[in-house]
Amino acid sequence: MQKLLVADDSPTILRAVELALKGHDYEVKKALNGQEAFSLAREWRPDVILADTNMPEGDGFSLSLNLKNLRELKNTYVILLHSSSENMTQEKLKSCLADDSLMKPFNVSSLIEVLPKKAHEEDSPSPQVLSPQGRGWHYSDIEKVALEVIERIGWEVVPRLSEKIIREELNKILKKPTASK
C-alpha cells in the first residue's frame, strides 16, 4: 500500500482526494497547511505528496523545496495542486523540485493519471461488477457515476451523505427504481 499525504487548506479537497483514492491501494493522511504537512511528512514519510500551491503557513512550492532538501524525503513524489488562474510552468516545478502538477478542480481519472506509475500499476486487470442492465462495468465506470452523483449534489455535502442518499442518486442516474426497505 502506498502512503499519500494531501496538503490543502480546503477540507472539501482533502475529503475529495480521500474518497477518490479509496480502493486504489493508498493510505491517505491529510494536512490543512504547509507546516502541518511538513511535520507529518517528516514523521510518516509518504511515497506521494499532493500539495496546494496556495495555503497558509507554507505553500506547496516551499513545502516541496524543503522536503526535497531532506535526505530521507528527497525521493518523495511531489505533485502541486494549483488553480486554473495560476500559470504552472516546468520552470516553476523545477525551481521547487516538484515532480508534477494537477489543476483544480480535477476528477478521479486525472488524479490517478498524475500519480507515479509504481503507485498504481496498470498491468493488473481491473475488477468488474455487473451493472443493473447486466453488462460488465469496470470500477472506473463506477467511479465516474459516483463522481457524477457527487457533482450533482455538491462536494460540500459529501462528508455528511448517508448511504441511502448516495444510493438514491445513483439509482436516478442509472434510471433504476429505488428499492424500499
The pLDDT of residue 177 is: 52
In a domain, 163, yes or no: yes
Tell me: do 148 and 73 sit in the same domain.
Answer: no
Mean pLDDT estimate for the chain: 79
Tell me: do 65 and 112 sit in the same domain.
Answer: yes
Residue 173 and residue 98: Cα distance in Å, rounded? Answer: 39
In a domain, 181, yes or no: no
119 pLDDT band (50/70/90 cuts)? very low
| % of the chain with per-residue pLDDT over 70 | 65
Tell me: do 38 and 101 sit in the same domain.
Answer: yes
C-alpha cell at 147: 463522481
In a domain, 180, yes or no: no
CB 76 within 8 A of CB 105: no
Residue 22 and residue 20: Cα distance in Å, rounded? Answer: 6
Quote the domain boundaries for residue 61.
2-119
Tell me: do 28 and 93 sit in the same domain.
Answer: yes
Strand 100-104: give its sheet, edge to edge.
26-31, 2-7, 48-52, 77-83, 100-104
Tell me: do 54 and 93 sit in the same domain.
Answer: yes
H-helix or E-strand containing 58? Answer: none
- Residue tagged 474518497 (cell numbers): 19
Task: Give the total number of structural domains in the chain.
Answer: 2
Residue 123 and residue 82: Cα distance in Å, rounded? Answer: 30
117 pLDDT band (50/70/90 cuts)? confident
Q: Which residues of 88-117 are buried (b: 16+ CB within 10 A; e: fewer)?
A: beeebbeebbbbbbbebebebeebbebbee
The pLDDT of residue 133 is: 45
Summarize the confidence of residues 150-165 as an average pLDDT.
Answer: 58
CB 4 within 8 A of CB 50: yes
The pLDDT of residue 105 is: 85
Q: Which residue has the higher pLDDT, 83 or 63?
A: 63
Q: Which residue has the higher pLDDT, 70 or 131?
A: 70
pLDDT digits (tens, 9 = 90+) for 5-55: 999 999 999 998 998 898 888 999 999 999 999 999 999 999 999 999 999
